[in-house]
Chains A and B, each alone.
Chain A
Amino acid sequence: MTFARKLTGAAMAMGLSLFAALPAWAQEEAPKIDPGDTAWMMTSTVLVLAMILPGLALFYGGLVRGKNMLSTMTQIGAVAALAMLVWVMWGYTMAFGEGGNAFVGGFGKLFMAGVTPDSVSGTIPEYVFASFQMTFAAITVALVLGGTVERIKFSAVMVFALVWLTLVYFPIAHMVWSSGGLFFEMGALDFAGGTVVHINAGVSALVAALILGKRKGYPAEPMPPHSLTLTMVGTGLLWVGWFGFNAGSALAANGTASLAMINTFVATASAGLFWMITERVMGHKGSALGFCSGIIAGLVAVTPAAGNSGPFGAIVLGGVASVVCFFFVSKVKPALGYDDSLDAFGIHGVGGIIGAIGTGIVYAPSLGGPGATDYAMGGQLVTQVSAVLATIVMSTIGTAIAIYIAKAVTGLRVDKEVEQEGLDLGEHGERAYN
């Protein structure tokens, strides 16, 4: 008994001395979860989901012909779902796993190994962080489909998505957002994923469209959007969801998130109007599709700049991106003759490049940006351009590999008869409108 007491006493003394040593260690190693940040990030995460389904599905769906409506929406939904599964299996660790090198994360978190409800990332639970980033992978692969719809097989889309996420998306996400990543260490400014999401998706869509070839009858046969009403609805959902995407990229409910929020309003508003103004200047009518296209161009351009620009810089950036994207999709694309069905490159690629480079300009405090007073614009622009070029190279090579694998496995393209009858019937056995 006395011996046991002595033993307990000794153990308690040891325990107390351990506790005494604890506070300094606890402050560094065990950050606390902030309920406000967590609530905002959980909201942001589902807002990004709403950008995909139904936002992007309706936006893209309205732009295709009625016979390909379900095919377009189903491809978007299915690749997003596939991305979520792949993300928890090997995507998260490839992007954000500890260790690793400049190009890919360590593989310690395969199948979310070691992540528990108590794991913390910044001020939010790691599961929330992983879910938020998961939705980015899901929307990026869905965006690529804008270049390939109306002729690619559903099975080819699924194989492509699997390979493309692994070869292209996860490494680029690591390079931009993970400490130790190539662009992260270079100091490239990319607030919410202008390179990772938009340049990446846009360039990949272009490469995929080039390898896949044109739709039968393009450009001689009229292929007008079958429902700009649904495209407008999708545009609205994308804009709303984009607040999760941009303001959520602050990873906290703080002042930077508020800056990203106001920029996501004004850059987008500016771009929507500037597209219509450009249409008028070019002798056309200001159009609904022009407004929607401008909205998307503005959202894309402000993505890297959301927390890296003052509101007026964002307005200018949105306007410039809108005008350049207008000329790209209505003049340059027809002149070059490739068939990027829904202008995923013309808007996400081109708008993304303008946004990424423009972020280096609007970041300057003299232009109202949040940069330090000794901000060196020239050097930053070199960094921004290098990150853009490196992304283009990686997307191009990775997409080519992924498309050729999809071609070997599935044949890639639907039969001529299926393309004429529509992919809804040919690939899914359904009609969108009965």
Chain B
Amino acid sequence: MKLIMAIIKPFKLDEVREALSSLGIAGMTVSEVKGFGRQKGQTEIYRGAEYTTNMVPKIKVEVVCDDALAPRVVESIQQAANSGAIGDGKIFVLDVGQAVRIRTGETGETAL
């Protein structure tokens, strides 16, 4: 099993979700996160007090799937989240040791 963790632009979430649903992905976890990379932050100004915010708001999507599906999941996230501009985000793939469905106690890929 693989954990696919994607950091994407917030407005791309719906497209990514639709792309993954069409692959048969039945669940995901989404969080609002902040970070920085090559994309520049924003300048805010309040009554002359100027602040540069380095941290840009992003969405983190986490999906666990079986090993065979992982390359297609990565590919469809890469395509759906792509706007061609700096700051589109990154995708990381990690190995997952175990998965357990809490309600039934099922383990491994049947728990996904």
Contact = CB atoms under 8 A, between A and B. Distances in A.
Interface string B35-50: 0000000001111110
Contacts of B51: 222, 224
Interface in A256-273: none
Interface residues of A, number: 17
A345 to B, nearest CB: 13
Interface stretch (A153-161, A197-205, A327-335): A327-335
The 9 A-B pairs of least Cβ separation, nearest first, read A330-B48, A222-B51, A329-B47, A224-B46, A330-B47, A289-B46, A284-B45, A225-B46, A224-B51
Contacts of A287: 45-46
Q: Which of B44, B47, B49, B51 has the most CB of A within 10 A?
A: B47
Interface in B44-61: 44-49, 51
A334 B46 contact: no
B56 to A, nearest CB: 16
Nearest to A284: B45
B48 A224 contact: no
Contacts, number: 27
A293 interface: yes
A223 B49 CA distance: 9
Contacts of A222: 49, 51
A343 interface: yes
Given A224-B51, A329-B48, 11 more contacts: A222-B49, A222-B51, A224-B44, A287-B45, A289-B46, A289-B47, A293-B47, A330-B49, A331-B48, A333-B48, A343-B47
B46 to A, nearest CB: 6
Contacts of B49: 219, 222-224, 330, 334
Contacts of B47: 289-290, 293, 329-330, 343
B53 to A, nearest CB: 8
A329 B45 CA distance: 12
A333 B46 CA distance: 13
27 contacts: A219-B49, A222-B49, A222-B51, A223-B49, A224-B44, A224-B46, A224-B49, A224-B51, A225-B46, A284-B45, A285-B45, A287-B45, A287-B46, A289-B46, A289-B47, A290-B47, A293-B47, A329-B47, A329-B48, A330-B47, A330-B48, A330-B49, A331-B48, A333-B48, A334-B48, A334-B49, A343-B47
Interface string A276-318: 0000000011010110010000000000000000000000000
A343 to B, nearest CB: 6
